[in-house]
Structure 1
Amino acid sequence: MLESSGYTGFLGWVEKTQRFLLTVLMVAIAVMVFAQVILRYVFKAPLMGIEEMLLFPSVWLYFIGAMNASLERSQIVARVLEVFLKKEKSVYLVRSIASVISLIVAIWLTYWGWDFLKYSLRVGKVSPTLYIPTIYSDAMVFIALVVISFYTFLELVHNFDLFKKAQSSERRILS
């Protein structure tokens, strides 16, 4: 199992739940693909619609993985500007500014996700073969973006706190 990021309380529970769901979804996808391979190539009797059924756990896996990366702060980040900064305070200021920009983008995408969710509810789309309502995957877009926006806000608070601490420690060193 992956190492915990050290969260306690509610965020610790959320992290464990996300990891559990990720594990269950990965196993479910692997089992469905394995079953399709066995049925198609061994028994020459493919199960129609399995590709369609794979869509739903795959979308959930993708978005819960994005939520988990946002919680762990393990998403891909290019911190090129920090290489040129000498002071710790400047590094945390740049990270705080980047977090503000990330939060703005996340909120903007969440707004788009809300519009997409309203559209999906209004249209009532279903999958072409099995007639499964696509709201089961479409809703995950909005849910994940709300959660990612929340995690980005927590990252902003964390980075700003580090900036304030670096600023106060710099003042103590100068005095």
Structure 2
Amino acid sequence: MIIFKCIDWLLDRIIAPIVAIIGLFVALSFVVGITARSFLGIPLFGVEELVLIAVIWFYMLGAILASKNSAHLRADFIPVVIKNEKVILAFRIIATVISILMAGLFVLWSNELFQWALQRSQTTPVFSIPMYVSQVSLLTAALFMTLYLVRDLINDIQALCHKKDSSTPIQR
């Protein structure tokens, strides 16, 4: 599906470098903060709120990349118990539909949180960064995860429709 290939290309070119940059920022912030406080006796006010916002975005962007690569954690015991590939695919489809429903709820909840943050106009104490800057990351991640779950559902349905025998292992 060409739309997913375009989105994947954009994510690889945009989000993956941003995740690397945020990871470096967080690590360096900890080093600088600890060094300044412990060895120089200088507290750096506001570093914690910058790190908190960065970590939230880091985690949510990482979740998007994990969804893109189907690398998120899963407790998949069905293939251990059942050997029929069509049955395994059917269970995977059921699990993906449930995941889509849950992700849809996360989209609704994170959108409500974002809308609430826009209405309240709350900011961080030191740098006055609007709270929605970190909260929109939840909505972004929920939207992308839902998108990739739909992709997985389409792929699994296609695989089930084209499955001829149970000897060929399925791949995701």
TM-score above 0.5, yes or no: yes
Tell me the residue number matched to 1:29: 26
Cα distance in 2 for residues equivalent to 1:151 and 1:8: 11
Amino acid across the alignment from 1:69? A
Note if 1:82 corresponds to 2:83.
no
Match 2:66 to one of 65, 69, 83: 69
Q: Could you list the per-position Cα deviations for residues 66-86 of structure 1 after superposition, in whole angstroms to 9, with x for gaps in the alignment?
A: 111111111111111222212
Amino acid across the alignment from 2:16? R
Alignment check: 8 A CA contact 2:66 2:72 kept: yes
**What TM-score results when the alignment is normalised by the length of structure 1?**
0.87
Tell me the SS of whatever aligns to 1:127: coil
Tell me the residue number matched to 2:165: 170
**What TM-score results when the alignment is normalised by the length of structure 2?**
0.88
Amino acid across the alignment from 1:170? D
Matches within 5 A, 1:21-170: 21-166=18-163, 169-170=164-165
Alignment check: 8 A CA contact 2:123 2:129 kept: yes
Cα distance in 1 for residues equivalent to 2:122 and 2:63: 25
What percent identity do the matched residue pairs reach? 21
Amino acid across the alignment from 2:85? E
Unaligned runs of 5+ in 1: 1-6
Alignment check: 8 A CA contact 2:79 2:88 kept: yes
Shift of 1:8: 4.6
Equivalences, count: 163
